Amino acid sequence: MNADDLLLISVGGAAATIARRVAENASAPLRALILDTDDATLQAITPAVGVSTTVFGAKRLAGRGTGGDRNLGASALRDDASQIQAQIGAPRLAVLLVCCGGGTSGAAPLLLEMLRALGVATLVFATTPFAFEGDDRHRCAKIILPTLAAQADAITTVPLDLLAGGDAALPQAEAFARVADRLGAGLGLLWSLIAHAGFLPLDAERFRRFLTHDVAGGRPFCFAEAVCAGERRADDALARLLAAPRFRPDGVDCLANAAQIVVGVLAGPDLRLCELGVLMTGLRAHCVALQEAYLGTANEASREGTLAVVVLAFGQALAEGGGRVEEGVHEARGGGRSRKGAKAKAAARANPLGAARNRFNDVEPTLHGDQNLDTPTYLRRGIRLAR
Ligand SMILES: Nc1nc2c(ncn2[C@@H]2O[C@H](COP(=O)(O)OP(=O)(O)OP(=O)(O)O)[C@@H](O)[C@H]2O)c(=O)[nH]1
Ligand SMILES: [Mg+2]
């Protein structure tokens, strides 16, 4: 795999901090593009090899951020679209990190649209605001999320409350730091897995094929990771994954409901076949709606003695009668994709620019029926361009 095949992009201030953590956690070289409208945030990011920071929309916002206005975030990206496109280059797979709630996140749907037009497959990690945050931030997240889903190949939405561990007594700064650490660790592992493929590689090209075999895209997924050591490390990692709160965002076990799982195992040369057996057998037994399982391994000498496992669970299969496997209820049910997700996607496709009226600045949109004809046909119809 070429190191340029994989690119991490973050949009906004909080996402910049997390992207920096990913760079610290990834054992493989990381090419990352940290984008924000706020100059001060980017000044605070410590430089790292392969990680570049860019302020966009400076002409409009003078490097001061959007003040929470998502339309300004989108306009700022349009202003500097060609420069950002040049910085993106030609990766095969991009991981986009966005913390919904702020105005700069308004740029993310357009960025995804740009990546899609470039033929880049996209995996989106989007956080939603803490419950204590203001209504404006929650509203902003609600509007942006469906537009992100409409443009992404796959998307996970992680509530910050869940990432922080639901500990309300935690000081705010510590809760933010914990979120950044947890997301940074998980993404760092995923990065190492894709960029540092081992005996069973899951490199950018394989991952891309997996993501794009579904033409429509926008597949929801959940993810969690576990790092264990000791004689029973495979059993321990399996138990931790099966119990991971991140697989139960609304009391529904996303892992048990998954139609596909991607399992990444990162270990040293001491990784034993029976450990892979323990993990895969245990996961298959738990995932009662499973249609396909993918396994990738990364071998790194520095991981000797530890076993790191990251699992991505895609698509929540519908249970018979339209229900889903609730926590604790564990029996085989039918396959298929979430109808709720499909509905949200369809609604978002109708207006991929979200609240923005037009993809061009200062021009009235060309409306025909309920469609905005300024939106390219392939976007309106959800057609993937093969590049
Ligand atoms: N983990 C973490 N999350 C944060 C932090 N600050 C804000 N957030 C979350 O990220 C969301 C977006 O906030 P920012 O990233 O500051 O906003 P922005 O995208 O830069 O947009 P504007 O500043 O409004 O232009 C917030 O609503 C919070 O949910 C932080 O320091 N750490
Ligand atoms: Mg900001």
Tell me what percent of the chain is helix, strand and coil, each rounded to the nearest 5.
Answer: 45, 25, 35
Its domain, for residue 189, covers: 3-195
* pLDDT beneath 50: ranges in the chain: 317-323, 329-358
The reply to whether 215 falls in a domain is no
Q: Are 33 and 72 in the same domain?
A: yes
Are 251 and 179 contained in the same domain? no
Task: Tell me the C-alpha to C-alpha distance, in Å, between residue 309 and each of 28, 262, 300, 377.
Answer: 16, 10, 13, 40
Domain at 240, CATH number = 3.40.50.1440
Closest residue CA from atom 27 of ligand 1 = 101
Average pLDDT, whole number, for the chain? 84
Q: From CA 116, how far away is CA 93, in angstroms rounded?
A: 10
Rounded to the nearest whole angstrom, what is the distance from the C-alpha of residue 301 to the centroid of ligand 1?
Answer: 36
Ligand at shortest distance from the CA of 133: 1
- Return d(Cα 85, Cα 46) in angstroms, integer: 24
Tokens of 207: 């991952």
Are 252 and 159 in a shared domain? no
Does residue 160 lie within any of the structural domains? yes
Contact indicator for 99, 14 with CB cutoff of 8 Å: yes
Beta-carbon neighbour count of residue 221 at 10 Å?
23
- On whether both 191 and 302 belong to a single domain, the answer is no
**Ligand 2: distance of its center to the CA of 68 in Å?**
8
Helix residue spans in the chain (DSSP H): 13-25, 39-43, 58-61, 70-79, 81-88, 108-117, 135-151, 160-164, 172-195, 204-212, 233-242, 254-257, 273-286, 339-350, 377-380
Nearest CA to ligand 1 atom 13: 102
pLDDT tens profile 253-291: 999 999 999 999 999 999 999 999 999 999 999 999 999
Q: Residue 150: what residue type?
A: A
Q: 124: closest CA among 148, 90, 91?
A: 148
Kindly tell me the sign of the dihedral angle through the C-alpha atoms of 205, 208, 210, 213: negative
Confirm whether 46 is domain-assigned. yes
Q: Are 21 and 51 within 8 A, CB to CB?
A: no
- Residue at 387 is within a domain: no
Nearest-atom number in ligand 1 for the CA of 65 is 25
Which residue in this structure is represented by tokens 């931030």? Answer: 137
State the pLDDT at residue 46: 84
If asked whether residues 230 and 184 sit together in one domain, one would say: no
Pick the residue whose CA is nearest to atom 10 on ligand 1. 99
- Pair 189, 248 in one domain: no
Return the residue whose CA atom lies nearest to atom 29 of ligand 1.
Answer: 129
Same domain, 139 and 45: yes
Q: Convert 327-362 to b/e letters by CB count within 10 Å (16 or more is b).
A: eeeeeebeeebbeebeebbeebbebbbbebebbeee
Atom index in ligand 1 nearest the CA of residue 101 equals 27
Interatomic CA distance for residues 343 and 347, integer angstroms: 6
> Which ligand has the nearest atom to the CA of 39?
2
Backbone φ, ψ for residue 75 (5° rounding): -65, -40
Nearest protein CA to atom 28 of ligand 1, as residue: 129
Atom 12 (ligand 1) nearest CA? 102
pLDDT in tens, 169-203: 888 888 888 888 889 888 988 888 888 777 788 88
Same domain, 176 and 290: no
Tell me the CA–centroid distance for residue 255 and ligand 2, in Å: 33
Give the position, in ligand 1's atom list, of the atom nearest the Cα of 105.
Answer: 19
How far apart CA 199 and CA 297 sit, in angstroms, is 6
In a domain, 34, yes or no: yes
Ligand nearest to the CA of 41: 2
For residue 139, CA distances in Å to 39, 102, 133 come to: 25, 10, 11
Domain match, 169 and 230 both: no
Strand, coil or helix: what is 207? helix
SS (H, E, C) 251-270: CECHHHHEEEEEEEEEECCC
Quick one: which atom of ligand 1 is closest to the CA of 183? 1
* 155 and 252 together in one domain: no
Distance CA 333, CA 340 (A): 18
Q: Which pLDDT score is estimated for 343?
A: 41
- Count of domains in the chain? 2
Q: Please tell me whether residues 41 and 143 are part of one structural domain.
A: yes
- pLDDT for 285: 97
**CA–CA separation, 75 and 63 (whole Å):** 14
Atom 19 (ligand 1) nearest CA: 12
What residues does ligand 1 touch, defined as CB less than 6 Å away? 12-14, 17, 36-38, 65-66, 68, 99, 101-105, 129-130, 133, 137, 160, 176, 179-180
Which residue from 56, 70, 99 has its CB within 8 A of the most atoms of ligand 1, so it is best to mutate? 99
Classify strands 292-299 and 258-267 as parallel, antiparallel or unpaired.
Answer: parallel
What does the pLDDT read at residue 288? 93
Q: Among all ligands shown, which has an atom nearest to the Cα of 65?
A: 1
Q: Are 338 and 139 in contact (CB under 8 A)?
A: no
Residues 116 and 167 in one domain: yes
